Chain A
Amino acid sequence: MIANYLIGLREGLEASLVVSILVAYLVKSGRRDRLTPVWIGVLVAVALSLSFGALLTFTSGQLSFQAQEAFAGTLSIIAVGFVTWMVFWMRRTARSLSKELRGRLDAAVAMGTGALVVTAFVAVGREGLETSLFIWSAVQATGQSTEPVLGAVLGLLTSVVIGYLFYKGALRINLATFFKWTGALLIVVAAGVLSYGIHDLQEANILPGLNSLAFDVSNAILPSSWYGTLLKGTVNFTPATTWLQAIAWTAYIIPVFVLFLRPSRSPAPAPAPATETSVLAASDR
């Protein structure tokens, strides 16, 4: 029960976080009209994953291991691109938001609608196939026991609830703090997704070096433990990380963080309750 619950939680957590940040951002910036494309992206990803997973589970057709890994790996790397785009897009529109407060609209949000759909889609669909294969295997087992399917569904629901709570919390904090922290969080998440995607491609034998490990702490951080699950579910931390994964992770996170932090003078978030307008204007350079 617990083990199945933790898989469901892990698989759903990252997508919940990305989608809740996206939704919170749109709501905070008064762009509720853009929520529909986000939900369409989410629903299409869920529907596609579930039906494709069902097809593979209940018919004799199966994707080869290599094809599955290559698919998941490629989608992960695409997801990294879109989440990175999202971080910088939020920042860019944050600047125009300060102008908007002075009565001017910016076209940046309109530009991003198609990309919003795709971002929501890849965030959910990335691990959707693997998750739905897991869900359907739990459903198949209900003949003997309902525990697996119950655990899996409860885990997924928990991840959605965590995403919702995150959203609620995000609405309460001021806009400048929101951008700083969610942006940073998304970059860490995206770096993890990149590393995970690299690992998939290594398993598919498309990239080399599957067995050259940079470190292996799987004895200290058990993948089946709750903290291992949380680390994996949020930042995609792999206890046994290959050199290629470690290099890709570093090569992504350092330049992106440098770009992300560039305009702000003080790296630490300002604890003073500055008004949104002044903070955003200060970073608008």
Chain B
Amino acid sequence: MFCRRRTALPVLLALASVLAACGGNESTGNSDGSSGSTVAVTATDDSCELDRTELETGKTTFSVTNDGSSVTEVYVYGEQDGEFTRVISEVENIGPGTSRDMDVDLASGTYEVACKPGQTGDGIRTEISVAGGGEAAGDGEEEGGYDREIELATDGTEITGLERGAETGERIEFKLTNNADGPRILEVKDPTGAVAAEVEVEVDTTGETIVELDQAGDLADHRRR
């Protein structure tokens, strides 16, 4: 019914397979920096300071503090048609003197973080770059280090090449060859429906993303619309 230029082709990891990037019990891992990381964002009425702009892939917590006098909101924008307009994440209603955390799963690429004092306009923007092919930046694994490769292909209507059955702790590289007529996004979802990894694939190219499972589970493909 609605045509999206970039159709998502999510791959759902069914049953209890929980990915390293999600789950409440990973918080200890977050604080010591082994998985996920925190970026402090300080917003005022006319500035938007990030304590760093070079990030690793995976879960990132943007910890936003509003030191200004007006209500603010913070967006993470992804690139779409050469402009940073695709909303990756947003947190609104950050009142003066308060803080809010925003968790975002970031694939490698370039993004813009925007603070919008007064909740209006295009915002004060800062470009951030996200690098690294793996999920866990701290465990010393090289980019491309994975146990298994699953080669997928899409012609725009279905995904082929999906293998079922994953092992505990397995690192899987999903590689998507896009034979469709437009750019596609491959999303790997955990059972809660959260995006654990994603990669944008242009027409007639191949893109890959790596996920690590911390429990055994089952793979299922799932087409949205």
Looking at the assembled complex, report how far the CB atom of A118 sits from the nearest CB atom of chain B, in whole angstroms: 25
CB interface residues, A 1-38, toward B, < 8 Å: 1, 3-4, 6-7, 11
Q: Is the CB of A218 within 8 A of B90?
A: no
Q: How large is the interface on B (under 10, 10 to 19, 20 to 34, 35 or more residues)?
A: 35 or more
Which residues of A are found within 8 Å of B85, using beta-carbon distances?
210-211
Q: Is the CB of A223 within 8 A of B119?
A: yes
CB interface residues, B 83-101, toward A, < 8 Å: 85-101
Query: How distant is the Cα of A6 from the Cα of B119 in the complex, in angstroms?
Result: 13
Which residues of B are found within 8 Å of A208, using beta-carbon distances?
2-4
Looking at the assembled complex, report how far the CB atom of A81 sits from the nearest CB atom of chain B, in whole angstroms: 20
Looking at the assembled complex, report how far the CB atom of A14 sits from the nearest CB atom of chain B, in whole angstroms: 15
Looking at the assembled complex, report how far the CB atom of A225 sits from the nearest CB atom of chain B, in whole angstroms: 9
Query: How distant is the Cα of A66 from the Cα of B34 in the complex, in angstroms?
Result: 25
Query: Using a Cβ cutoff of 8 Å, how many contacts connect chains A and B?
Result: 97
Which residues of B are found within 8 Å of A205, using beta-carbon distances?
4, 86-87
CB interface residues, B 2-27, toward A, < 8 Å: 2-4, 24, 26-27
In the complex, B194 has a CB within 8 A of chain A = yes
Of chain B, the residue at the smallest CB distance from A144 is B97
Given A205-B87, A222-B118, A140 and B71 touching (CB < 8 A)? no
Q: Is the CB of A152 within 8 A of B87?
A: no
Which residues of B are found within 8 Å of A152, using beta-carbon distances?
95
Looking at the assembled complex, report how far the CB atom of B101 sits from the nearest CB atom of chain A, in whole angstroms: 7
Of chain B, the residue at the smallest CB distance from A223 is B119
Q: Is the CB of A64 within 8 A of B103?
A: yes
Q: Is the CB of A130 within 8 A of B96?
A: no
Q: Is the CB of B100 within 8 A of A148?
A: no
Which residues of B are found within 8 Å of A62, using beta-carbon distances?
101-103
In the complex, B70 has a CB within 8 A of chain A = yes
CB contact between B90 and one of A65, A141, A145, A223 (< 8 Å): that residue:
A65
Given A60-B30, A134-B93, A141 and B103 touching (CB < 8 A)? no
Q: Is the CB of B98 within 8 A of A137?
A: yes
Query: How distant is the Cα of A203 from the Cα of B90 in the complex, in angstroms?
Result: 9
Please give 17 more A-B residue pairs, beta carbons under 8 A apart, in addition to A65-B91, A69-B90: A1-B96, A3-B95, A4-B96, A11-B93, A60-B26, A62-B102, A65-B90, A65-B102, A67-B193, A134-B95, A148-B95, A207-B2, A211-B85, A218-B121, A224-B70, A224-B71, A224-B120
Task: Enumerate the 4 nearest inter-chain pairs by beta-carbon distance, A residue then B residue, closest first.
Answer: A60-B27, A65-B89, A4-B95, A224-B118
